[in-house]
């Protein structure tokens, strides 16, 4: 994010900035996918509070938010 802010502050060409934005989005999507694959179910069972319905609601909310951003 700092590099994007720096690029904007330096008035770099929009195409360069947009390519970096795309790269950041791709990296974040990759991290999100890895978290979904490896951590979400473990987290749901160990660190989320509430009964199964509450935990499922939290997961659903996170997934809905994540899908809206892609």
Domain boundaries, the chain: 1-38, 41-70
Tens of pLDDT, residue by residue over 14-57, are 999 999 999 999 999 899 888 887 888 888 878 888 888 888 89
Distance between CA atoms of residues 50 and 34, nearest Å: 24
Question: Distance of CA 38 to CAs 6, 7, 15, 41, 64, Å?
Answer: 33, 34, 35, 7, 18
Output the pLDDT for position 70.
64
Distance between CA atoms of residues 27 and 25, nearest Å: 5
Q: Which tokens hold the place of 56?
A: 């499922």
């Amino acid at each position: 994010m700092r590099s994007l802010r720096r690029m904007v502050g330096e008035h770099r060409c929009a195409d360069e900035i947009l390519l970096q934005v795309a790269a950041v989005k791709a990296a974040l999507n990759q991290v999100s996918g890895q978290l979904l694959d490896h951590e979400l179910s473990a987290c749901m069972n160990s660190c989320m509070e509430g009964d199964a319905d509450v935990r499922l609601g939290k997961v659903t909310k996170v997934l809905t938010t994540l899908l809206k951003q892609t």
